[in-house]
Amino acid sequence: MTQTHPTAERIDAAYQANHYPDGASRQDIEEALEGRQLADGDLVQKVDPYCQRCQQKNQKRRLVGVDESDPYIEDGDYVEFFAHHMDPDDVFVPKHWEITALYHQRHPHVALSDAAEAGVDLVRARARVHKNERHEYLIDVDVLERSQSDDGPDESVIAKRQQRYIDDSDWHPDDATVISVPEQEPPASWPQAECDWLRQLLEQHDPVDRNVPDLDISDVVEDGS
């Protein structure tokens, strides 16, 4: 979607997407996300203006002493992201579509079916990042796929993978769930192509005192999806 001046129709579409997502179209959701600031005080949300995948891969390179870094997101870069509908209990926070993280479009991407979960209205979208002296925000938003709240399984494929990283020790306050991913293993949200990249990195640059993990993420889910 190319950014144009807001009209009454576009404002109504964004309102529909934010307040009545079940009846909203992909175009309505695009209007709700168009122009979204990456740091939006009204939503109590800050989306970091860097590619999360690049950040994660840079950390893996540092683990084995590789002096190479993927770049930050620049003005005009195309990114992809997941966004899910939020209906906060806080009366001061409006209903909205929350963006989890940004990824350069060039990266292998997680399938929407791996992230989908019952009770979560989720979209995978593409946009362009625009930066000025004061703000960073998204333009030309294009919703690529959608999983509505009654479409997904009870637990997402990514959540199942993440179970192996849960620290279930009993000292965490208030029974908090803590996800602790070993440095030499991939995040649960990585697609298989990135897990293969990590395996090759560890094979080529062997850190001291490590065991090469089995990075085949298909083994974690019983049906192999």
| pLDDT of amino acid 179 | 65
- For the segment 197-203, the average pLDDT, to the nearest whole number, is 93
**Residue 46 lies inside a defined structural domain of this protein:** yes
Residues 165 and 108 in one domain: no
- For the segment 192-220, the average pLDDT, to the nearest whole number, is 72
Residues 110 and 136 in one domain: yes
Would the pTM of this model clear 0.95, i.e. be above it?
A: no
| pLDDT of amino acid 175 | 57
Residues 194 and 107 in one domain: no
CA distances from 187 to 92, 110, 111 (A): 33, 12, 15
Instruction: Tell which wins on pLDDT, 5 or 202.
Output: 202
pLDDT at 222 over 90: no
pLDDT in tens, 29-54: 999 999 988 877 677 667 877 899 99
Residues 108 and 180 in one domain: no
Range of the structural domain that residue 82 is part of: 36-147
Residues 31, 12 contacting (CB under 8 angstroms): no
| pLDDT of amino acid 210 | 46
Reported as a pLDDT band with limits 50, 70 and 90, residue 80 is very high
Residues 125 and 187 in one domain: no
**Least confident segment among 16-30, 78-92, 178-192:** 178-192
Residue that finishes a domain, picked among 147, 170, 193: 147
pLDDT in tens, 118-138: 999 999 999 999 988 888 899
Residues 46 and 131 in one domain: yes
Closest to 17 in 3D by CA, of 125, 110, 104:
125
Q: Residues near 183 by Cβ (< 8 Å), separated by ≥ 6?
A: 59, 60, 63
| pLDDT of amino acid 37 | 87
Instruction: Tell which wins on pLDDT, 76 or 8.
Output: 76
pLDDT in tens, 159-199: 888 887 776 666 656 655 566 777 888 999 999 999 999 99
Reported as a pLDDT band with limits 50, 70 and 90, residue 225 is very low
Residue that finishes a domain, picked among 105, 127, 147: 147
Mean pLDDT of the chain: 83
Q: How far is Cα 107 from Cα 10, in angstroms, rounded to an integer?
A: 31
Residues 45, 99 contacting (CB under 8 angstroms): yes
Residues 44 and 140 in one domain: yes
Closest to 78 in 3D by CA, of 27, 140, 124, 135:
140
Q: How many domains does the chain fold into?
A: 2
**Residue 133 lies inside a defined structural domain of this protein:** yes
